Amino acid sequence: MVIPVYNGADSIASVVARVQQTFVGRSLEIVLVDDGSHDNSAAVCAQLCGQGVTTFVRLSRNFGEHNAVLAGLAQTRGAMIAVLDDDAQNPPEELPRLFDELVRQNLDVVYGRYVQRKHSWSRQLGSWFNDRMANIMLGKPRDLYLSSFKVMNRFIVDQILAYRGPYPYIDGLICRVSRRLGQLPVQHAPRAAGRSNYTLTRLIRLWLNMFMGFSILPLRVTSLLGLTISATSVLWLLLILIDKLWFTPHVTTGIPTVLACLVLFSGVQLMVMGMIGEYVGRMFLSSNGQPQYVVRDVMHARAAQTAGNMQVSSSAQANQPATQPVTQQPSEQRA
């Protein structure tokens, strides 16, 4: 189970406690990933390590939720893995149903579809837009809601971890690999503390990762747009010529019309150039070694030891989990 943590010091302990209570008597692996929090989330997570938390990963700075999830997935060993938020809005009590659906329907991923969402209107608007774009860009089923609350099998996790680009989008990677996807209605609780960390800027960045990172459809659209504008311009010129020769030869062609056309075509050119530049820039950063994430240190809890007596390993290598093994043996039913 992977829980990315960003400024979640006031809620993460209760989330972990509810997870433990939900899976009492079952083999469980909890991986917390501190994504460069500005509060004392790292200290809280370190304290939880050994009190039910198997692994705590601390990133060197804030890389974003999807990058943090990748860092956590790299530490998991179970046959089935869940991803949930640190703000207690994803009820851990819903996870057994999602896991059962994953096994019963032989699916790769099961998403939790919120019955009634408790996000702000701006967050819901951004999510709605991302969902509609995912229908076009990723080819996902229209009735499937891509949420951060999901469970996956080992196969899909291994495929996700094979991605090496610096701009991961977990749901895009899933849709690129499999169509064996399902969903179940789940409850969505109000945020336990603080405000949502998904600002408008973060939502736009997430949309760009999907828009630019997993499809060349934008380039095709711009090509079609250029052809359409060119054809329209030729038709427009022919109409102007016909009008000048046979209908209104005495009327002087207006300068405002020419200026408006220049502004229109210049804007289209700049948009297309900017889109191409975004693709080229991402290729440059990928070839230049831009990391998905950088792990500052990893803390592993020994299953047979008490809280506070734990094993710590440090790593500053990008995209690479610490090599020190977890003493708890992997289980085929570990969450």
Q: Please give the share of the chain, as a percent, with pLDDT higher than 90.
A: 39
Nearest partner of 68 among 281, 286, 291, judged by Cα: 291
**pLDDT tens-digit readout, 99-117:** 999 999 999 999 999 887 6
Q: Which long-range contacts (CB under 8 A, 24 or more apart) does 90-93 make?
A: 90/148, 90/149, 90/186, 90/188, 90/189, 91/18, 91/186, 91/187, 91/188, 91/189, 92/15, 92/18, 92/19, 92/22, 93/18, 93/22
pLDDT reading at 127 higher than 60: yes
Q: For residue 205, give the H/E element and its range.
A: helix 200-213
**pLDDT tens-digit readout, 296-317:** 999 987 532 433 443 333 334 4
Nearest partner of 76 among 319, 306, 334, judged by Cα: 334
Please tell me the predicted confidence (pLDDT) of residue 267. Answer: 73
Give the span between the Cα atoms of 51 and 331, in whole angstroms: 19
Superfamily of domain 2-214+291-314 in CATH is Spore Coat Polysaccharide Biosynthesis Protein SpsA; Chain A (3.90.550.10)
Give the span between the Cα atoms of 124 and 132, in whole angstroms: 12
pTM reported for the whole predicted model: 0.72
User: What is the residue-averaged pLDDT of the chain?
Assistant: 79
